[in-house]
Copies of this chain bind each other. A is one copy, B any other.
Amino acid sequence: MITDPLVHYPVTTATQVALIQIDDYGPWTVTPEPRREMDLQYLQASLFADFAAFVDGAGGYAFYGRFDNMYAVGNEIDPADFERFQRRVRNRYPVTVSIGVGLAESPVEALGEASERLQAAGSAQDGNRREALVIGDDEPADTGMVTVGHFDVVDVTGSLTDRENAIDVSLAIRRATLELATYLRTEYDSLAHFVGGDNIIAICPDIPPQAFDNAIEHVRVETDIELQVGIGRGPTAQAAGEQAKEALEQCRATGARIHGDGQLPADD
């Protein structure tokens, strides 16, 4: 199905990804007895809101991951910024966070590096690991253009939100997200994440438009859900993402299923 594999495109750039992990969180949530569930929901959502604002300040994109393990693509975040975020968390919350940072050709490899570095610093449930910040000596390296694909479901309001039981709408979109994210992770070393509503954002290496077309086709075959995607490129996730959002507006306006800068190289 993939006619235009990744290796045809010279990779000259790298992407920085950070993994943020709440220290010793599991034990904390049940000490001295299980804490109130809605308090945990409040804490996790607030922490992610703060994290998103922090990452935004550095031109990046943040994803809530599993809430106790969040991640961010932010090519211009420097170590002092991460320390500042750790300090803020310590001064605002009853928990602390450790951070691993990776830099690699693809977002998935970079997150893999970040994961390994954090794991090497101690277990997520090691009470002695507090506020580790592990960046590695390959930093700072040149980071390059980020490619962002911003997907949503074609006419989600008319076909789902205004018609179906909310649980079925949720399950349908979650299935589409999972199929898309798994496919993009496996085939294109990309990180895709649900961002609310019917929106999914993918952080990708320098992949061709055909890759996005393949992904949309894969989701349709597996789930019967039709996605569209706006594609953007830029020096930061924020710049690329903004372009992707504008491109998605063009999809909505024109009915095209794919729109954005990603198509330009195909014209060569």
Contacts and interface: CB of A to CB of B under 8 A. Distances in A.
Which interface residue of A48, A68, A185 has the most chain B CB atoms within 10 A?
A48
A66 B108 CA distance: 25
Interface string A235-254: 00010011001101100000
A41 to B, nearest CB: 4
A255 interface: no
Contact of A69 (B43, B170, B191): B170
Contacts of A57: 57, 84
Contact of A241 (B26, B37, B170): B37
- Number of this chain's copies in the assembly equals 4
Interface string A31-66: 001111111111111101100110111001110111
Interface range on chain A (Cβ under 8 Å from partner): 35 or more
Interface of A: 19, 25-26, 30, 33-46, 48-49, 52-53, 55-57, 60-62, 64-69, 71, 84, 87-88, 90-94, 108, 111-112, 114-115, 119, 123-125, 157, 161-171, 173-175, 177-178, 181-182, 185, 191, 195-198, 201, 238, 241-242, 245-246, 248-249
